[in-house]
């Protein structure tokens, strides 16, 4: 339920002195939805991250990383083997990257 993405967005929004009511319409949602996003009970859409980053004058890659990390965490959070699973996935990513690099 708690989300690093949401916490960071709130931080950035407050730094810009913006209200939910001001930001939400720019994302074509109501304040209730944006509030839930900041609280971590809803996911923002991937394409909206860039829009939000622009509004908050923030780095969209930073937000994207947090948004993805929240979802990764969600998959394994209750698992004893969470770290092992992460290692395995990381291995796969790395080896796929190697293959991609060599076309």
Partner DNA sequence: TATTGACTTGTCAAATATTGGCAAATATAA
Partner DNA sequence: TTATATTTGCCAATATTTGACAAGTCAATA
Q: Which residues bind DNA (CB under 7 A)?
A: 19-21, 28-33, 35-36, 38-39, 41-43, 45
Contacts with 40 (C-beta within 8 Å, 6 or more apart), sequence order: 1, 2, 3, 5, 6, 7, 70
Element (H, E) at 56: none
Q: How far apart are CA 102 and CA 13, in angstroms?
A: 42
Tokens read off for 34: 């944006």
CB nearer to DNA: pick between 74 and 91 = 74
- Looking only at Cα atoms, what is the longest distance across the chain? 49
Q: Kindly identify the residues of this chain, within the stretch 60-79, that bind a copy of itself according to CB under 8 A.
A: 61, 64-66, 68-73, 75-77, 79
At closest approach, how far in Å is the CB of 88 from a copy of itself?
Answer: 4
CB nearer to DNA: pick between 21 and 84 = 21
At closest approach, how far in Å is the CB of 21 from DNA?
Answer: 5
40, with CB counted inside 10 A (0-12, 13-18, 19+), is middle
The answer to the question of residue 100 lying near a copy of itself (CB under 8 A) is no
Footprint of a copy of itself on this chain (CB under 8 A)?
4, 61, 64-66, 68-73, 75-77, 79, 81-86, 88-90, 92-94, 96
């Amino acid at each position: 339920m708690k989300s690093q993405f949401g916490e960071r967005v709130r931080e950035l929004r407050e730094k810009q002195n913006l209200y939910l009511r001001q930001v939400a319409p720019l994302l074509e949602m109501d304040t209730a939805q944006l509030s839930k996003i900041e609280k971590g009970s809803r996911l923002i859409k991937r394409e909206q991250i860039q829009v939000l980053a622009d509004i908050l004058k923030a780095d969209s890659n930073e937000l994207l990383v947090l948004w993805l990390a929240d979802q990764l965490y969600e998959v394994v959070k209750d698992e004893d083997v969470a770290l092992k699973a992460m290692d395995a996935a990381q291995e796969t990513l790395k080896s796929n990257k190697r293959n991609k690099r060599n076309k």
